[in-house]
């Protein structure tokens, strides 16, 4: 069986969603906004533009763009101090896919520059022939645009591509694109609707590799 695989980044390849939440909480408290975590959770899997809109709606008097800049700086500070942590099974899965000539791409809501920077830091850039970020599309997840573009760039029909996702918006996006969604949960609790949309659900990427090996 021939197939291709498109990966989300945050919460799938890297344990970055935890860092993003810490960053928002720190910056929020710095500006006197406590209890910011539920709002930050709503931004998981969303683009920078959507994140600003979500926070601005929750805190209309705040200078959210300025706070976002501080949040990015705090994120970088944490990564510099603690390192960029890979999710379990990333290297094993990507190595297997490369050895078996499976085409791979990244379709992330993070801006493309940030995606490429993270991949380079982790030594993973050579595994992906196609990379799309949230700033390369008009409509962010759960809209299917980014996944449709990734499949087209790979030269594959959506139905022949798996999408590996952790977030609700990501799974919905992949399903709307006509792909085969694989759910690997991270921080955000997935809804029953999303669990039904996912073709398969696994606890980590090692299990995903086992699934691909069985095809």
Question: What's the pLDDT tens digit per position in 77-91?
Answer: 999 999 899 999 999
Cα-only R_g, the chain:
17
**Per annotation, catalytic residue among 10, 15, 50, 186:** 10
Q: Catalytic one among 8, 15, 166, 186?
A: 8
Give tens-digit pLDDT for 28-47: 999 999 889 999 988 887 88
Q: Indicate the SS3 state at residue 128.
A: coil
Contacts of 118 (CB under 8 A, 6+ apart): 9, 13, 14, 16, 84, 110
Residue 137: which residues within 8 A CB-CB, separation 6 or more?
A: 47, 143, 145, 146, 149
- From residue 75, alpha-carbon distances to 19, 116, 166 in Å are 6, 16, 20
Closest CA to 77 of 23, 123, 32, 10: 23
* Residue 63 annotated to the active site: no
For 130-179, the pLDDT digits (tens) are 999 999 999 999 999 999 999 999 999 999 999 999 999 999 999 999 99
Class of residue 82 by CB neighbours under 10 A (exposed 0-12, middle 13-18, buried 19+): exposed
Distance CA 6, CA 43 (A): 21
Q: What are phi and psi of 133, to 5 degrees?
A: -115, 170
Q: At what angle do helices 205-214 and 90-99 cross, to 10 degrees?
A: 30
Overall average pLDDT of the 11-28 stretch: 93
Q: Output the average pLDDT for the chain.
A: 95
10 is catalytic: yes
How does DSSP assign 132-180, residue by residue? E-GGGSSS-TTSSHHHHHHHHHHT--GGGEEEEE-SHHHHHHHHHTT-E
C-beta atoms surrounding 66 within 10 Å: 11
* pTM flag (> 0.95): no
The predicted structure's pLDDT at residue 1: 61
């Amino acid at each position: 069986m021939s197939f291709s695989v498109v990966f989300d980044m945050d919460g799938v390849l890297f344990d970055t969603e935890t860092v993003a939440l810490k960053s928002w909480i720190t910056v929020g408290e710095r500006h006197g906004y406590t209890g910011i975590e539920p709002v930050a959770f709503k931004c998981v899997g969303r683009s920078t533009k959507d994140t600003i809109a979500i926070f601005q709606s929750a805190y209309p008097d705040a200078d959210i763009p300025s706070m976002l800049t501080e949040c990015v700086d705090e994120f970088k500070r944490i990564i510099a101090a603690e390192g960029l942590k890979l999710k379990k099974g990333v290297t094993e899965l990507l190595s297997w896919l490369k050895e078996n000539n499976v085409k791979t791409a990244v379709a992330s809501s993070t801006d493309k520059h940030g995606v490429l920077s993270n991949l380079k830091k982790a030594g993973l850039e050579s595994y992906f022939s196609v990379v799309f970020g949230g700033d390369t599309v008009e409509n962010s997840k759960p809209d299917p645009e980014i996944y449709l573009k990734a499949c087209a760039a790979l030269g594959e029909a959506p139905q022949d591509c798996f999408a590996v996702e952790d977030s609700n918006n990501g799974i919905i996006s992949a399903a709307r694109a006509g792909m085969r969604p694989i759910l690997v949960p991270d921080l955000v609790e997935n809804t029953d609707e999303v669990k039904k949309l996912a073709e398969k659900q696994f606890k980590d990427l090692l299990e995903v590799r086992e699934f691909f090996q069985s095809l």
